Amino acid sequence: MWQPQGMPQLLGFLSGLFVALVALTMVGVVVARSMRRPSNPRESTYISQDISEADFIHQQSFLLQAAQDEDAPLKILEATVSVISGEQYQALTSSKQAAVHEAISVPRVVLQNVSDKTVVGITLIISDKAAKTKRGFYIKEQSIKPGQRFTILPENFIRVGGNPARNPKFWLDAADKSQVSVRVVAFFEDGSLWVNKDQR
């Protein structure tokens, strides 16, 4: 069959261009997938959410009690709060209430899934025995695999917008911070859940 002069060269060029485009597309897919993976497979990460970092100067950090049974499938490894003075609390929040002795932030909590099932939801409960108050916070649509760790940040307790530390809900009255504890309820991929024995 007759072909115009230069047609074989043109076909060869187009074929090479097609192969190159396919190769670049495959590289792009691999890079995109690698960017979506956590940098550390042992650490589970939130589904993308926009949070603002709290900006304040704290006096000290304090470890809260972890109220959990020995067989807890989602272990609280650490629950840390920041401590500020009553005067700092009033300055940050513009609160008109009488100055408390000191205030503590909502906690930064590090958890680890020690079960053989994937955790898809968490309820974190903060209890203050001295003040006889409780606060709950539910985190859904997660995928914490067996063995993975998961960190709840203080900023996750506050809606997006401005400096979270200026929101009174970022803080707890710490008349006796040694009486403040945290516990969790774990929701699993198979539809089951786990709570401490005293909650059943």
Does 97 share its domain with 167?
Answer: yes
Number of domains the chain is built from: 2
- Average pLDDT for 127-151: 90
Strand 119-128, strand 74-85: pairing: unpaired
pLDDT tens-digit map of 52-71: 678 877 778 999 999 999 99
Q: How far apart are CA 62 and CA 84, in angstroms?
A: 11
Confidence band of 1 (pLDDT split at 50, 70, 90):
very low
Instruction: Examine residue 85 and state whether it is found in any structural domain, yes or no.
Output: yes
Instruction: Examine residue 112 and state whether it is found in any structural domain, yes or no.
Output: yes
Q: How far is CA 132 from CA 20, 27, 104, 180, in A?
A: 67, 57, 16, 10
pLDDT over threshold 60, residue 118: yes
pLDDT of residue 33: 32
pLDDT of residue 145: 94
Percent of the chain predicted with pLDDT > 90: 38
Does 65 share its domain with 31?
Answer: no
CATH label of the domain that carries residue 126: 2.60.40
pLDDT over threshold 50, residue 15: yes
- Average pLDDT for 134-152: 91
- Average pLDDT for 126-134: 89
- Average pLDDT for 140-158: 90
**Most confident region among 6-10, 18-22, 90-94 by mean pLDDT:** 90-94
Q: Which residue has the higher pLDDT, 155 or 18?
A: 155
Does 25 share its domain with 103?
Answer: no
Does 78 share its domain with 174?
Answer: yes
pLDDT tens-digit map of 154-177: 988 887 678 899 999 999 887 889
pLDDT of residue 51: 66
Does 27 share its domain with 71?
Answer: no
Angle of CA points 21, 27, 28, to nearest 5°: 90
Q: Domain limits at 151? A: 60-199
pLDDT tens-digit map of 67-116: 999 999 999 999 999 999 888 988 898 877 765 688 899 999 999 999 99
